[in-house]
A and B are shown apart, each in its own frame.
Chain A
């Protein structure tokens, strides 16, 4: 069945973008003369472009995972995953633009290692630790890596999408096995890139600090947010009467993924926090000290919500099959994960000077509107249920 965007959805997404733009403009006008305004603006850009880029990337990863494991049940929601993954090129564009601006501003107090003063022994800003890391953290190498990540993601995304549409036309199992191989290869790339890219884009903000768990932690947050988006999108389409073949069991499975990845995220958050708390080494504890001093409420509230909401509410089987409960929990933890990324970026770059005002709200709303619109447009471009997926029959009879 073909999907067409309803008038209401068009109005709502346009309104979101409009309100977002308006709030952003108000935010810019009221705070443009503030100290560190450029940093604040770029922090917002980085938070949102990374968060929404990660949603697309999470969907691409999830799709590759289904291919590599030859999963059957997901076939009838495959186009939804593809639609979310289809945001990736836009997300990459905005992220690259933000990173480029930051690079031209010599780090803009976000990536302090980009500041040439930091690695110049003659300067009184000279920082020995940053200089020691400069073999890895320098502008050219940073851009080589960034372009490499994005190119690989883009090539795989294009390939999966192309083969998916081709499968609709010709069917057969040859494309399926090709997807299987490509999915596995993508996972190998992704295993490395998901860690290193989170070091480059997020961990290097707190440049003196490092954590080997950081990549996994970022990845788990990204995965969990993606699952929430997939659940919400599926429920939205179901409520409009699309996807007649998607039954409670598919929703239940997506709900289980949300539940499980929430745990994965909480587990990694806690592992990182507890080890650093236990060892109590000054170089490591600075990261948490900054967050506890300046963001105590957001930081801990975010953790408790992202952990306890799915844990307590989504535990039972009936809850995972209930559209109302799933959307309620989903929206709350999606906001929670946005705050997670916000604290990751803002605490390291602005510290006590970070603000959470109309500018932050405006830019986030603008991104939400744009993100939803792009996904809905992506959905219109192909039949909502793949026609010739080899596991389609299994998926239609999915029952748990």
Chain B
């Protein structure tokens, strides 16, 4: 289904933020904002939910803890018991202290890598994937607001454009997405 999308470009993040506030107050649904840097406080204005990346980080970390514990128990206790510095590895619990630093490191490793990969996958920005932003200038010094007509059935394109022009945009573009 073809969809009409309006891209409004700003050259200042504060102007965009104020504009977004006014538009949202009028009942316009803004689907996305593209910016070279995180705009502080834009998420609640355009109604983006809080990220759940933190919860995933906890789960990845827990996975790391479990894997490290299980792995070291297998390597050092069950499969090939080792005696290091006069501390024979008969049981995991008695030697638990020695395994804590590695468990910690592996927890951090899993949490960090898990988060980074999840972030790239979720945003479809893995290396080599086509760019998601509508205009290359949003990676430099411009800010683009995206409004989809299908999400704003109350308004037609002309009405939206008039409202957008009142908010201090510098460029307006309309595209048909397949």
Contacts and interface: CB of A to CB of B under 8 A. Distances in A.
Interface of A: 270, 273-274, 277-278, 280, 315-317, 399
Given A273-B97, A274-B101, A278-B98, 9 more contacts: A270-B100, A274-B100, A277-B97, A278-B85, A278-B87, A278-B97, A280-B85, A280-B86, A316-B54
Interface string B51-62: 000100010000
Interface residues of B, number: 11
A49 to B, nearest CB: 34
A317 B40 CA distance: 17
Contacts of A270: 100
B38 interface: no
A187 B86 CA distance: 42
B54 A317 contact: yes
Interface of B: 40-41, 54, 58, 85-87, 97-98, 100-101
Contacts of B97: 273-274, 277-278
Instruction: Tell me the interface secondary structure of chain A in the complex.
Output: helix
Contacts, number: 19
19 contacts: A270-B100, A273-B97, A274-B97, A274-B98, A274-B100, A274-B101, A277-B97, A278-B85, A278-B87, A278-B97, A278-B98, A280-B85, A280-B86, A280-B87, A315-B58, A316-B54, A317-B54, A399-B40, A399-B41
B65 to A, nearest CB: 12
Of B40, B86, B97, B101, most A-chain CB atoms within 10 Å? B97
Contacts of B58: 315
A291 to B, nearest CB: 15
A274 B87 CA distance: 13
Contacts of B54: 316-317
A399 B41 CA distance: 8
A316 B85 CA distance: 40
Contacts of B86: 280
A222 to B, nearest CB: 24
Nearest to A271: B101
A273 B58 CA distance: 27
Nearest to A275: B97
A277 B58 CA distance: 30
A360 B100 CA distance: 35
A190 B54 CA distance: 36
